[in-house]
Chains A and B, each alone.
Chain A
Amino acid sequence: MDLAKKKLGLLLSTGLEHPNLETAVGLSEAALARGADLYLYLIDDGVRALGDPRVRALAGRGARLFVCAYGCQKRRIPLEDADTVTYCGLVVLTDLINGTDRFIALN
């Protein structure tokens, strides 16, 4: 299956200790390697995954990285002034749900 330019949306809502993180990173790397457009949305405890260097590296490979601003606020995680991260709300998540070819939620 040709994944080039196909849009994959990934939602991650679990924290660093949960095996979902490995799944998210693995799926993301595989999708990028096959030329898919990757949109990763971190929400709830998933916002802590921003501290994982593998997640950070995804942005450098072309992934769009979205982080729930509300989730950061609740956990007192300061918002960074970074070009590779977009802090946003549920409107963007809705866009991903509606606009991607495949959407996977890892909760």
Chain B
Amino acid sequence: MPSLKDLRNRISSVRSTKKITSAMKMVAAAKLKRAQDNAEKTRPYARKMSEIVNSLVENNKSKEFKFSEKKTKISRNILLIVCSADRGLCGGFNGSIIKFSKKLSEKIINDGGQVSYIFVGKKAYQSLQRFCGESVLDFFSDIANPSIKFELASSIRDKILELFLNDSMDECHLIYTEFKSAISQTVQSLKLLPLNALDTSDNNNSSKSYDFEPSEEEILNEIIPKNIAIQIHTALLENLASEQGSRMTAMDNATRNANDMIDNLTLFYNRSRQALITKELIEIISGAEAV
């Protein structure tokens, strides 16, 4: 049985841990608000952009253009862009991203493909470093300080377009966490390249035939890189919001657990104190009786 001193120490250490977790929760809540606002502001732009690109690609099903699938190739080099957080203590956030990416890359390798990676955020990089070895192409960290810049997305975009156009990469997926609400986030993968039409053959009649200026091809070549950059940018923003949301819930749980623990320990402490006093009294009384 632990002594009273031990119990007191234990209680005070849990108390100070609780202080830290509740402070972290407050900070995460404040950051979440900002990150969520930013993510929501970019959404209409990204949605409209991908709508336009999708309908364009739909119209272009038969033709082969600069960013379409290369039908001649068999071997597949696949690039994964893995977005994670820079810091831990955010519940299952990083863990689920890592698990998801690992699963996906194992599946690709089993299918006979090759995987290379670009990491955004330290956590996934650190734990997948050993797993992926030499195939890490690039690594970015500390992106959200003070805010996520559009330039980062553009530089990643330039990199993947270069790889795609000189044939060292055939497919590109973006792995990020979609922000649904402060308590629910899901890991998702988004295919950035190549573009091929979604299999929605039943609503063909709604596809619009556009008039293009200067020409369809030029528009496609201009709009697709733009679309990729904005998709990466929104993914990073969503990821940040998810990280903060996840951290907030995790820290909230931790604070609640600390409270429970303090309650239990205090109860136990009082009981043992009482037991000790009773024991001493019995000793004194029995001593007096013996005399």
A and B assemble together: no
Interface residues of B (CB under 8 A from A): none
Interface residues of A (CB under 8 A from B): none
